[in-house]
Chains A and B, each alone.
Chain A
Amino acid sequence: MIKTLRLPLAVALLATGIGAHADGIRTAPMLANTCAGCHGTNGASAGEFMPSIAGMDKGYLYSVMSDYKSGMRPSTIMGRIMKGYTEREIWAIAGFFAAQPWTSTDRVASAKAVHQGQEIHNRLCESCHDDGGREQDDESPRLAGQWAGYTRYVLDVCRSQGDRCRPPKMGTRVKALSDAEIQALASFYESEK
C-alpha cells in the first residue's frame, strides 16, 4: 500500500517542486518569489514604477522577460537580472505569475485626465488594447488598473526609441505624443479597473 502510493505522491511533488532537488531544477514558486521584493507578493505591485505582473498573459510575460535577457527590450535593471535564468526558468516564472489573480490599483485620476486619456486611447490604442486595456494576449499586456507611473515610463521609453520601439505600429503612434498626453493616457488606464 505504501509503495503504490509513493509514486503518485512523488509525481505530485515534482509538479509543485518539493521533490525536485535531486535533479537541481528550481520550481516556479522558488524562482518567482525572488521577484516579490520589487513586484509585490505574488506579483501584485504596491506601486508605482514597478508594474503588477500577477495575472498577466503567460506568453506576454515570457516574451518580455526573454527580451530583457537578450537586451532587445531596454531596461535599467531587468536585463541584468533576467540573464540569471534559463529559457525554461523564464517560462516557469511567466506561468507562475500568469496563474495569479490580477489586482488593479485603487487609484482614480481626475475626470479631466481620464477624459483626455480615453480620447487618445480610442483614437490610437484601442485596436490592440481592447476594452479600455482590459483585454490581453501574448502581444498586448493588460493596461487597465496598472500603475500609472509604470505605464508612463514605458510610453516615455517607447517615445524616445521612436521607430525602434516594438511593435513598430506602437512606436509610430507614441512618438507623436506630448508629455501631457502620455500622462493622461497612463492616468486613464490606471483608473480603468
Chain B
Amino acid sequence: MSGITRRTFLQASGAVAAASALGLPALSQGAASKARVIVVGGGYGGTIAAKYIQMADPGIRVTLIEKDASYISCPLSNEVLSGERDLASLTFSYRGLGKRGINVVRDEVVGIDPEKRVVMGKGKGGYPYDKLVISPGVSFRWDAIQGMSEAATDTIPHAWKAGPQTTSLQKQLKAMRNGGVCIIVAPPNPFRCPPGPYERAAQIALYLKHHKPKSKVLILDAKDAFSKQGLFVEGWKRNYGDMIEWVSAAAGGAVEAIDPKKRVLTGSVEEFKGDVVNLIPAQKAAALAEIAGLTDASGWCPVDQQTFESTRHKDIYVLGDAAIAGAMPKSGYAANTQAKVCAAAIVAALNGQPAPEPSYVNTCYSIIAPDYGISVAGVYQLKDGKIVDVPGAGGLSPANADARTRAIEVQFALGWFRNITADMFS
C-alpha cells in the first residue's frame, strides 16, 4: 500500500461502488490491473473461484485450466444408478465462464514451480501466475485394501468420479441377477461427500426394488458411524424394508483384501461375495497437490483457513476436497463457499489489503427416494485461525418427519442443483 496516489485513490473509490453491486469487495482495477490469477480444476471450487475473482475485479486476468472439455457433476450422480436421470443432465460446458471474460484453457497441469510461479501444462508449456488457485479434488489410496488397484476398477468400479465409472456400475447393476447382492465398500474418513455411499445404497435399492426385488445391498464400512446415520437408517427402512444392510467396522465391515476377479472381499471376521462390488477407495488430495508439495503427512493440503493459501507455498491457494478446512466436510457446497472466501482474499491481497473476515456455509441434500429427501446444513466462522461451527446453527432434517417434509426436501435438492450449477457455469 506504499504508493497510494490521488489518482489510484479515486479509481479505488469508483471501483468500490461498482464492486459492491457485484457482490465481492473489489477495489482498484488500477492496483490489481493485469495481475494474473490461474485457477486449476473446473469443478465445484475452481469455477467459483475464477468467476468471483473476475466479478470482483475485472482488471485481474483470470485463466481457468481444466483437463476435460466439459464437467460432469458428482452430486446427483447416484440418481444415474437408479435410472432417475442420465449423465447428460449432469454435464456442463465452460462456455458461460468464457463469456464472462475468463480465459478457459483445456490442458492437464502436470506440475507447479512455486519459486518461478509457473504452472506446467501437458499441452502448451508454462503458465505464469501472480496467484494460483488449485481445486484438484481427490485421488485414491489403492494400497489401503490388498489386491485393489486402478486396473481393477474395470471390474470393481468406484464411481466416485462421475462419468464412465458411473456408467460401468450402472451396467453391472442392469446385468445382475434378481436375488443378487450388490456390495458397497464405504471408505474411512475423511473422504469426498460423507453421505454419498449411503445415498448410493438407497438409489441402488430404488433400482432393485423396481427391477430385481429379491436382491440386496450390503454396505461394508471402514467406520462405526456415518453422516446423517439416523435419517438414512429410517429412510432405508421406510422405503426399502430390509433390502439395505449396513455392517460397521466393529461388526466386521472393514475390508482388508479383495479378489477383484471373483468379487470376494475379506473382512476382519468373514468373507463376503458380491454379484456387483462398488469399492469406494480411501482417499487423499489429488496427485497434483502431492507432486507440487502441497500435502502433509495426512495426504491432504494444510491451508490458512481464512484465505485458503497453502501453508507450504506462498501465493498458491488450495480449495475444496483437497484442502484441510477445519469443521467443513468435503462437499460441493463447502467448496463453493470456500472458493468465494478465497476469491475475496485474493482480490484483497492483489489490491494490497488484508483478507476479509470469512463466512462459510455447507448445505447437503441426500435423495433416498423420489419423494424422500434429507439434508444437513452447517454455518461456519473463523475462530483462532480454524474453521468452526457457529454454535446453535446448522444440523439435520428432523427424525420421523411427515411425508410432505421429506418430499419437499427432494424438490429443494433439485433446486439446489440448478442453482449451484448456475452459480458455477453461467
Contact = CB atoms under 8 A, between A and B. Distances in A.
A42 B357 contact: no
Contacts of A46: 418-419, 421-422, 426
Contacts of B393: 80-85
A77 B353 contact: no
Contacts of B422: 40-41, 46
A107 interface: no
A50 B416 contact: yes
B16 A33 contact: no
Interface residues of B, number: 61
B351 interface: yes
Interface in A1-44: 1-2, 5-6, 8-9, 12-13, 15-22, 24-42
Contact of B419 (A5, A38, A80): A38
B394 A81 contact: yes
B407 to A, nearest CB: 10
Contacts of B16: 12-13, 15-16
Nearest to A17: B25
Contact of B4 (A6, A20, A24): A6
Given A32-B23, A76-B375, A17 B9 contact: no
B230 interface: no
A49 interface: yes
Nearest to B27: A18
A49 B415 contact: yes
B360 A34 contact: yes
Nearest to B44: A37
A96 B25 CA distance: 12
B377 interface: yes
B262 interface: no
A30 B409 CA distance: 26
Interface in B383-426: 390, 392-395, 397, 404-405, 408-409, 411-412, 414-416, 418-423, 426
Q: Binding site of B, secondary structure by majority: helix, strand, loop or mixed? A: helix
Contacts, number: 182
Interface stretch (B64-72, B161-169, B236-244, B337-345): B337-345
A153 interface: yes
Given A6-B4, A20-B356, A30 B344 contact: yes
A42 B23 contact: yes
A169 to B, nearest CB: 24
B394 A84 contact: yes
B23 A33 contact: yes
B19 interface: yes
Contacts of B423: 36-37, 40-41
B23 A21 contact: no
B50 to A, nearest CB: 13
B416 to A, nearest CB: 5
B361 interface: yes
B361 A81 contact: yes
B12 interface: yes
B333 A37 contact: yes
A43 B176 CA distance: 45
A80 B20 CA distance: 27
A36 B47 CA distance: 14
B90 to A, nearest CB: 15
B409 A48 contact: no
A149 interface: yes
A149 B353 contact: no
A9 B359 CA distance: 24
Contacts of A100: 21
Nearest to A22: B354
Nearest to A48: B415
Interface in B9-33: 9, 12-13, 16, 19-25, 27
A45 interface: yes
Contact of B23 (A6, A29, A48, A50): A29
Nearest to A36: B423
Given A5-B9, A30-B357, A80-B377, A37 B420 contact: yes
A42 B23 CA distance: 7
B379 interface: yes
Nearest to A32: B23
A28 B356 CA distance: 11
A99 B19 CA distance: 12
Closest 5 CB pairs of A and B: A84-B379, A84-B393, A46-B422, A34-B361, A84-B390
23 contacts: A2-B4, A5-B4, A17-B356, A18-B354, A21-B357, A25-B357, A26-B357, A28-B20, A29-B24, A30-B356, A33-B23, A38-B363, A41-B51, A47-B415, A50-B412, A50-B418, A76-B375, A76-B397, A76-B409, A81-B394, A82-B393, A99-B21, A149-B411
Given A19-B354, A46-B421, 15 more contacts: A1-B6, A6-B4, A18-B348, A27-B357, A30-B341, A31-B359, A38-B416, A41-B51, A47-B418, A49-B414, A50-B416, A77-B412, A80-B395, A81-B377, A100-B21
